[in-house]
Homo-oligomer: A and B are copies of this chain.
Amino acid sequence: MSIIVHHLNNSRSQRVLWLLEELGVDYEIRHYQRDAVTNLAPPELKAVHPLGKSPLLEIDGRVIEESGAIVQVLCERYGNGKWLPRQGSDDALRHLELMHFAEGSAMTPILLQLYTSRLGEAAAPLQPRIAEQLAAHFGYMEQILRPSGHFVGDDWTGADVMLSFPAEIAVMQGQAGSLPKLSAFVAAVHARPAWQRAREKGGAYFNM
């Protein structure tokens, strides 16, 4: 079996490395660097997938796109019954919702903020709406974190892996004070030996 992660520095693909380390699966990393000026992914990624995005996971030559699909597949194939709730349970439905929420909802205001920040002052009219949406989504994540410190049930699942990225962004934006549960969640993720191994292998990842 051959597993390759097409990995972009400072990107959402860092969490795929974390999950692979948790699962104890052998894999290879192909590193891609963002353009120093534009911060965009390099054109080499387009040779792997027409959209030129990361992460992309290659299992025995089949390239899998979309973080949500990659995390789901890894948990199903290599989780040995862990990392996913029991099929048919209400937790499984909750897991499905949050797997879609992570990219389909939580990332939207984050990307809006990232893009419009390049406009500087000119984006001021949009800032209240974006700030309100960021607060709503981060606040929702804070609210739904369970007493166990996980997003679904009482153990780690793929949803925690998916939501670790927007959670890290909330903390990086200095919101740890108003989001204590989310901040503790990020600290717990970063305390995992698997996360630390992935961090070492992944290369540049913000200031974490």
Contact = CB atoms under 8 A, between A and B. Distances in A.
Interface in A30-73: 50-53, 62, 64-69, 72-73
Task: Determine the main DSSP class of A at the interface with B.
Answer: helix
A145 to B, nearest CB: 13
A36 B182 CA distance: 35
A104 B103 contact: yes
Given A67-B104, A68-B104, A105-B66, A96 B73 contact: yes
Nearest to A137: B51
A140 B65 CA distance: 13
Per assembly, the copies of the chain total: 2
Interface stretch (A16-24, A111-119, A168-176, A188-196): A111-119
Contacts of A65: 97, 101
A122 B123 CA distance: 7
Contacts of A53: 105
Contacts of A112: 111-112, 115
Nearest to A136: B51
Nearest to A50: B140
Contacts of A139: 50
Given A67-B100, A104-B68, A104-B103, A126 B115 contact: yes
Interface residues of A, number: 42
A93 interface: yes
A192 to B, nearest CB: 24
A68 B69 CA distance: 12
B105 A108 contact: no
A177 interface: no
B51 A105 contact: yes
Contacts of A118: 125-126
Given A66-B105, A103-B104, A50 B143 contact: yes
